[in-house]
């Protein structure tokens, strides 16, 4: 059975180290820092989420897309009971996450951004104990573990401690572990970061398969291709807010013209920008930085000669031309003025 996910005006303000650094908390600061004492000294308010409202349909593969620090991991943290929201509420199915943590935990599987495998155990034991935490019977545990190890190509290392595993193997095992109790909702926080292209394809295939079984899947990513390829709908998140929401196709269609031609021109005059915007097929021209111009248009390459002629006619010189096809990257750029990789 698939479950919906909803959030309502989620807000999260971290008063100590933000989540990306959370794992390392306790390294800095005074010895035996009771947090009460140290928090006063190094109090830093970081607004990670600011009024984030979302609804993910049952059985949907949903992407949270945004740059580092946009609030993606915090959103997943709140939905998976690991982060306490400062304000707002979230639901998995009918259960309000913060109030019904145990039954929510029973329904979700989580693949963290960085593998957090139990280093004291072997790969197989990690799956078996995970199954045991969820009350799966011993025989069933064994057979599920065997199937997953096989599926994720880990069988030959199954009985080794995971300390010596490569990053990709750990990531695969993390995903296998999250699927061990067959959760109705699967959260993947940047699942393909650090994976080689081959393993990434394997992962995508497995995620698609899992989704096809009617499970709800939420994944965060800053990889356009991943969102485009996997997700039915995408929310673009920046500074803790949703700035655009829809299917990848629908979102791409909202970028004026779809194609983006980035020019570097010197000297750049308002008259020249005006002239560029009158070229056939151009929908919008925006100045960027000291000498850049972003030209949104319904075509890419074929438009370049005309644009260059207009620049030359104005007595200016073009030092760089960059053409991008309609993509979520352009969409993000359009909404925030920043590249996703910034």
Partner 1 sequence: MTRTFFALLSRDAHVARRNFVPLLLQTLLQPMLLVFVFGRILTTSGYMPVEYKSLLLPGIIALAMMLAGIQAVAMPVISEFQFTREIEDRLLAPIEIEWVAVEKIFAGMIQALVAGLVVLPAAWFTMGRGVALAFPHPIYFGVLCLAVALLSSSIGLTLGCSVGQTQIGLMFSLVLAPMIFFGCTYYPWSALEKFPILQKAVLVNPMVYSSEGLRSALVPQFPHLPLAAVAGGLIFFNALFVSLGIRQFRRKAVL
The answer to whether residue 328 forms part of the interface with partner 1 (CB under 8 A) is no
Report the distance separating Cα 21 and Cα 17, nearest Å. 6
CA dihedral 18→24→28→32, nearest 10 degrees, is 110
What DSSP element (H or E) covers 110? Answer: strand 108-111
Question: 111 or 224, CB closer to partner 1?
Answer: 111
> CA geometry: angle at 320 spanning 317 and 325, to 5°?
130
- Binds partner 1 by CB under 8 A, chosen from 157, 177, 233, 334: 177
CB of 23 to partner 1, least distance (A): 4
C-alpha distances in angstroms, 121 versus 31, 160, 166?
30, 8, 15
Question: 104 or 235, CB closer to partner 1?
Answer: 104
CB of 157 to partner 1, least distance (A): 18
By CB under 8 A, the count of residues binding partner 1 is 45
The answer to whether residue 134 forms part of the interface with partner 1 (CB under 8 A) is yes
Q: Is the four-CA dihedral 102, 108, 109, 114 of positive or negative sign?
A: negative
Residue for token pair 């306790």: 26
- Binds partner 1 by CB under 8 A, chosen from 14, 91, 165, 296: 14
Give the residue from 30, 19, 5, 141 showing the smallest Cα distance to 84.
19
Write the binding mask 100 to 129 for partner 1: x where contact by CB under 8 A, - elsewhere. Answer: -xxx-xx-x-x-x-xxxxxxxx---xx--x
- Binds partner 1 by CB under 8 A, chosen from 10, 83, 207, 297: 83
Contact 284, 256 (CB under 8 A): yes
Sites of contact with partner 1 (CB under 8 A): 14, 19, 22-27, 29, 31-35, 77, 80-84, 101-103, 105-106, 108, 110, 112, 114-121, 125-126, 129-130, 132-135, 177
């Amino acid at each position: 059975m698939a479950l919906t996910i909803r959030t309502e005006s989620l807000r999260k303000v971290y008063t100590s180290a933000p989540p990306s650094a959370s794992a390392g908390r306790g390294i800095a600061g005074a010895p035996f820092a009771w947090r009460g004492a140290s928090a006063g000294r190094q109090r830093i308010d970081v607004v990670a989420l600011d009024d984030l409202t979302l609804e993910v349909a049952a059985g949907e593969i949903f992407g949270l897309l945004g740059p580092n620090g946009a609030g993606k991991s915090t959103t997943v943290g709140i939905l998976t009971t690991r982060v306490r929201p400062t304000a707002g509420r979230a639901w998995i199915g009918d259960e309000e996450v913060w109030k019904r943590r145990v039954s929510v935990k029973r329904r979700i599987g989580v693949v963290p951004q960085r593998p957090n495998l139990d280093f004291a155990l072997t790969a197989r034991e990690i799956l078996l104990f995970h199954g045991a935490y969820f009350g799966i019977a011993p025989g069933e545990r064994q057979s599920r573990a065997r199937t997953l190890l096989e599926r994720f190509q880990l069988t030959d290392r199954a009985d080794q401690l995971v300390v010596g595993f490569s990053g990709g193997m750990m990531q695969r095992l993390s995903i296998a572990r999250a699927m061990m109790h067959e959760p109705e909702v699967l959260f993947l926080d940047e699942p393909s970061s650090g994976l080689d292209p081959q393993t990434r394809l394997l992962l995508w295939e497995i995620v698609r398969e899992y989704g096809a079984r009617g499970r709800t899947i939420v994944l965060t990513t800053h990889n356009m291709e991943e969102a485009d390829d996997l997700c039915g709908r995408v929310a673009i998140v920046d500074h803790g807010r949703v700035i655009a929401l829809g299917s990848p196709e629908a979102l791409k269609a909202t970028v004026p013209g779809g194609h983006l031609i980035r020019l570097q021109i010197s000297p750049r005059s308002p008259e020249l920008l005006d002239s560029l915007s009158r070229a056939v097929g151009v929908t919008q021209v925006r100045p960027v930085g000291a000498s850049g111009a972003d030209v949104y248009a319904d075509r890419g390459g074929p438009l370049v000669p005309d644009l260059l002629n207009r620049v030359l006619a104005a007595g200016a010189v073009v030092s760089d031309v960059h053409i991008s096809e309609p993509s979520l990257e352009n969409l993000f750029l359009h909404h925030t003025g920043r590249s996703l990789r910034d």
